[in-house]
Every structure is written in C-alpha cells, then in structure tokens.
Homo-oligomer: A and B are copies of this chain.
C-alpha cells in the first residue's frame, strides 16, 4: 500500500476536523483509494491547541510551520490558518519546497490567484481548494471536471451561511437584523466581527473563485458589485412574502454578450425558486451551462466536518495522483467491501403508510378494518373519508404510524377479502 504524508498547518475548527476525520475514517479511505494517508505533522501557533491533539508517538507537533514545510518526508501541506499574508508565505514556501498544497483559503485565492497557480505549475505541483467555496458542496470539481465541456452561462447562489441564517431568522421569527445577528453570534454562526459576512464580501470572494474557473477571465474582487444585508428590515421580508417572494443574499455571475455581470446583493426570489427554500446555514449554487442546463448543488456551506470532508477529498486525490503517476491508472477501487453487510428484506422494514381502502359506505366498516390493522400491530394516525354515499363504494383514507411492511401486507391481504371491500387497497409508504 502506497503511503502519502501530510502536514496540517492551522488546527482551528477545520484543521482539527481534518485531523480527526482522517483518523476516524482512515480504513475506509484506504480501501476506496488504495492509498494510505498519514498525518505526519500538525502545526498551530497556539501551543495549548497542540496539546489537545491525541498523542501518537511519531506525530510532529510544532508551532513553527517551517518544521513541516522543510520535512523531506511530507508530500502535502494543508494550509488552514486563513488570512492572506502568512498563509501566502506558507503556500509559497511549500510550493518552492516541492510540496503539494491543499487550502480552504478563499481570501487568499480570490486575491492571489495569478501568483500562486503559476508557481505551482512551474514546480509541477497541485494546489487544490474544494473547501474554499461552500464547505461540503463539490462545486469546484463540478465546474472543473464534470462541466468542462460546457460554456458556463451563469453561476448564482447562496454562498454565505451566516447571512442566510440571519435572513431565515428574520423571516421565520420576525426578528430585526440586529437581533438575528446577535443570535447568530451566540450560536457561533457569526463571528464577533461579522463585517466580512454581513457586508457580502465573503460571498464576493467565493464568486470570484467560481467565476475564474467557470468563465476563465482575469477578474478580481474589485470587479464585483457588493451590497450586504444590514439595511434589510423585517417589514421588507414580510412585504416580499405578500408578493410571493423571499429575500436572499445572492452572489450572481452571468456571462452575457455585452459583458460579465458580477454582483452580490440582497435579492427578491420567487418562492417557487429552489433557492428560496434554502434555510439557515445551508448553501446552494446554481450553474447554468450550455449543455447541462440548470444544475443545483445544495449542502452545508461551513462547519467542522463538512469542510473537512472537502479538504480530505482534495488530499485523497493528490495522494492517488502522486502514488500511481506513471505506473498505474489512478482510479477508485471498484471492489472495496469495508465490511460485508446483509441486505434487509423489505418485509423487515418499518414505514408509516398512506392507505386507501375502497369500501361500501355502511356502519361497521371502519371498525372492521381498524381491528384487522390493530391485530397486525398497526396503529392509525389519521382517518379521512371525504365522500359519503350510503350503500355505495367510497374511498376511506388512513395514515398510519410506523408499522412493519410484513405486518402491513398480512393486514391488507385480510382486508382485501372483506365482503364490503370493493377494490384492492392502495398502500404508499411515507418517507420522513
């Protein structure tokens, strides 16, 4: 089994998430990718944080990034300290030292794109950054690989979870912007200094990255028109609702014949638009390409494990590429079986059911049906009979609590044989 050594710089929420998930799911990742990913070292300027990392004898713990960047055995440097100056120094040093780089740093990428990628190219190294835009959402790979054949026409979406949480609270609870912001801060969703999020700048940074990939233009942050959500009042949200709209902070990039449109601002969206249903901290991005039409990716835009998931996807891809380069084809292991599982038979599973009985409308019918249901351990949540035609066939509708499929089948077989049942019972499972 090939081994790839990784050094993680920055052990905040995401960094510790990456470290822990690489340990917890190590075997699964090994089985799928045929590579063993080893965290050789971790770095944080705060020595207290280093002490909290579970001790493995051979793990390098340091508060000096150079200890990892200069370690000849480390193949991949994972930069998770954020900010621009120090992060740029680390990434540049890593690339100059022959290390591949994984980063989640949107500020850096949106400002230094045309400095760091040429350096990586010159040194024949990877920089991967799926986690820099919308946490767990695989939008970078989707644009770069899956949609590579498309002329991208527009990219737009909810790229910032903090502002979407605030707008959701304002809508659903009628809170003022200030109050919703305070709640977001108390929950750790907004920073103490929330300007980057609420001003729309965070969304703009992400939009720059997506546009650089999708449109292939030489654009920068100053090309984006940015307006935040601080002026929105609860009455605006209510008024919008009356007219069938939600208010969302959208980041929008459109490639039009007369130019590129790049903007971030609060937006009224028809309630029928899927984006209007994106609540709380969730993120979602629409991409329209000339081939794919409209596609939407939805998921967690931030948070410890969702962001770690994307970082690990990048590390694993680099690990596969450098392990097999020139020897084998890099591929998924199509025959991994982590642990043999039995396949459950449908009869063993439990569901709530929608049932439609076709019965003669006469006294005692419901009693007869419900006693058969009860004898088969099926309890009724709701009964509804919307037609009355004494002596004639009518539908009777029932919603049940969770019941075993096997029990339900037995009950229906018996019910279908009742003299006053005129047609086969319709049963549809409910998914919660």
Contact = CB atoms under 8 A, between A and B. Distances in A.
A124 B397 contact: no
A149 B245 contact: no
A356 B305 contact: no
Nearest to A432: B270
B146 A309 contact: yes
A138 interface: yes
A31 interface: yes
A268 interface: yes
B291 A308 contact: yes
Interface stretch (A78-86, A175-183, A292-300): A292-300
A240 interface: yes
The number of times this chain is found in the oligomer is 2
Interface in A1-48: 17, 21-22, 25, 28-29, 31-33
Interface stretch (A60-68, A199-207, A330-338): A330-338
A137 B215 CA distance: 20
Nearest to A284: B296
A21 B150 CA distance: 8
Nearest to A125: B329
Interface string A255-280: 11011111101111110101001000
A218 B313 contact: no
Interface of A is mostly: mixed
A144 to B, nearest CB: 4
Interface residues of A, number: 131
Contacts of A404: none
User: Which 10 pairs from chain A and chain B are nearest by CB?
Assistant: A326-B326, A149-B312, A295-B299, A138-B146, A291-B309, A259-B344, A117-B334, A296-B298, A136-B292, A225-B346
14 contacts: A25-B291, A118-B335, A136-B293, A136-B295, A138-B142, A146-B309, A240-B354, A250-B431, A255-B341, A261-B344, A272-B277, A274-B298, A291-B312, A296-B299
Given A225-B345, A293-B305, A294-B300, 20 more contacts: A21-B149, A22-B149, A31-B216, A125-B329, A126-B331, A148-B312, A149-B309, A236-B426, A239-B354, A240-B354, A259-B343, A260-B343, A262-B343, A266-B428, A266-B429, A268-B429, A291-B306, A291-B308, A293-B303, A296-B296
